[in-house]
Amino acid sequence: MKSIDVIKKHYQNTESIITIGTFDGVHKGHELLFKFLKDTSNLTPIVITFNKSPKEIIHNNPSKSIYDVETKESLIKNLGIQKIISLDFDDSIKSLSAKEFINLLKRNLNLKTLVIGEDTTIGKDKIGKKNGLNDILLSFECELKLISIKKNNEQKISSSEIKKEIQSGNFENVNKNLSKKYFLQGIVVEGKKLGRE
């Protein structure tokens, strides 16, 4: 199913407050964002998350995610967000301008407030805080809220930096920035029993 149709499938009547991102690892910066979503209004909080980072797809530079889609959704739900829409960054989304994308959210998810990080841009025309996103939202009778993805006013928390720390085995730093200590999931199977030797 095209991602644009996935959004349409989640049609709702109540006004919503929406955030958009990859949210890989669900780190403490993301936790601040989700808390803002559920604590600051009586609107329905919705998280739209991409299964793979749009930047990776645009630049054809794939990298391994911190967690798989199901684990990421579970972590977001544990932070109090019940409506999560997971999307592939496919052609149906890539081809939309910022205005077309906001119109899609307004018509199908009853968008009232969009919450994004300070540097986030929307649409193929890369519209953000500095070049007109607020004006687009106002034209749909919606508002823009910006939130700093930081912890204790320190430097910005970054999923890509957390990935580097994981690869380096520096789990003390990893766990300082994730909302929950890093973990692996899988099925334990019987091996060659070499450990007992």
- How do the pLDDT tens digits run along the chain, 197 residues long? 999 999 999 999 999 999 999 998 888 888 888 999 988 778 999 999 999 888 778 777 777 888 889 989 999 999 999 999 999 999 999 999 999 999 999 999 999 999 998 888 999 999 999 999 999 999 999 999 998 766 545 567 777 777 677 777 777 777 676 767 666 766 777 777 777 77
Q: What is the DSSP letter of 71?
A: H
| pLDDT given at position 101 | 97
| pLDDT given at position 193 | 75
Residues 11, 5, 76: CA angle, nearest 5 degrees: 65
Residues 6 or more apart whose Cβ sits within 8 Å of residue 101: 93, 122, 123
| pLDDT given at position 186 | 67
| pLDDT given at position 106 | 98
Q: Sign of the CA dihedral 148, 151, 154, 159? A: negative
> Token pair of 22, please?
């990859």
Strand partners, 20: 48
